[in-house]
Amino acid sequence: MRLPPYLLLAIAIVAEVIATSALRASDGFTRWLPAVVVVFGYGVSFYMLSLTLKSIPVGIVYAIWSGVGIVLITLVALVMYKQVPDLPAMAGLGLIIAGVVVLNLFSKVQTH
């Protein structure tokens, strides 16, 4: 069974967000369980990205992966660590979201 490329990309994003969240919890890789989650999460994320790149151009994949990841990590940091973004941070996140939307809706980049 072959999963749709955007589902693979969604899995890559979720795995990256989990890994990045665990990175903070690993306390500089001094706590072994969060460190294992970091390594496993990034491994899953990059593997799913590699599969996604068979169908979607690298620029589009990376823009979505990094942009959505940044927004989700900001939300995780807000909930888990009470790190509230200020107005410039929220404006920057809005620009990132706008960039990802523009790339997806208006880009004419073709695969292979």
The predicted pLDDT at position 110 comes to 62
At 83, list the tokens: 């790190």
Mean pLDDT of the chain: 92
**DSSP tag of 2:** -
At 89, list the tokens: 């941070």
Domain spans of the chain? Answer: 5-106
The average pLDDT across 5-19 equals 97
The rounded distance, in Å, linking the Cα atoms of 25 and 12 is: 20
At 106, list the tokens: 């208006």
